[in-house]
Amino acid sequence: MLKKTNIILAEENSRLRESQMISFHTTDTLVYYQHDSLFKYISAKVISNTVNKQKNYLMLNKGKSHGIEIDMGVITSNGIVGTVIDVSQNYSRVMSILHMNNKINARIKKNDHIGNVEWDGKYFAQGLLTDIPTHVNVYKGDTIITSGNSFIFPEGILVGTVDEHIVNKGDKFNKAKINFSVDYNNLYFVYVIVNLMKEEQLNLETQSDKNEQ
């Protein structure tokens, strides 16, 4: 069983490295650093996961003692998974993208237009890209990625591809049905994203808010 687990993890590590434009350094603690040192990635095993509820969660076998904190993003080599919402010493709980209250800021890769990815609680393989400006043309197969406009997910992580552009006459914004790039019913290993610049970014944002008051 251990040998099988190591093989699966090695394959996942390989896919993650291949999916990124910037390669990673591997350490003995299974933490992966990007060359630009803005982020590191902590591997974790999924020990529980749901996809059939309106509000779905995962539990990971890593926690505070491994460097994981609340509001860290979680991904696989295929795309986004969710956000850490609670941690203990050795475990962490993740709000899945398959959660009615989760909203991920994203962009259409071909034209950089911003929208939000949400889940309508129906089918675990599909979600919605909302808040698309009415003048923006969206076509089946268009790639949706993270926008980078947050402290949680770096820019450019795959979210999914457009399945159908939904236009309702009179609406101020359009929607698109998307096929998620991750099979949320088949999660084994994931990576928790540590933003090494988060504290500095938050401090600057707080200071700017104070200056505007």
3-state helix, strand, coil in the chain (%, to 5): 15, 45, 40
**For 104-180, CATH number?**
2.40.10.350
Residue 201: band (very low, low, confident or very high) from pLDDT cuts 50, 70, 90: low
pLDDT > 90? residue 51: yes
Report the pLDDT averaged over residues 52-56.
96
pLDDT > 50? residue 128: yes
Residue 11: band (very low, low, confident or very high) from pLDDT cuts 50, 70, 90: low
Question: Residue 208: what pLDDT?
Answer: 66
Report the pLDDT averaged over residues 131-139.
92
Domain parsing of the chain, residue ranges: 2-100+183-198, 104-180
Residue 38: band (very low, low, confident or very high) from pLDDT cuts 50, 70, 90: confident
Residue with more model confidence, 38 or 88 = 88
Distances from the Cα of 77 to the Cα of 11, 70, 82, 183, angstroms: 10, 21, 13, 11
In DSSP notation, 62-105 reads --GGGT--TT-EEEETTEEEEEEEEE-SS-EEEEEEEETT--EE
Question: Residue 88: what pLDDT?
Answer: 97
Task: Please tell me if the domain spanning 2-100+183-198 has the same topology as the one spanning 104-180.
Answer: yes
Distances from the Cα of 12 to the Cα of 76, 165, 191, angstroms: 8, 32, 10
Any idea which fold 2-100+183-198 has? Thrombin, subunit H (2.40.10)
DSSP tag of 19: H
Q: How many residues does the chain have?
A: 213
pLDDT > 50? residue 25: no
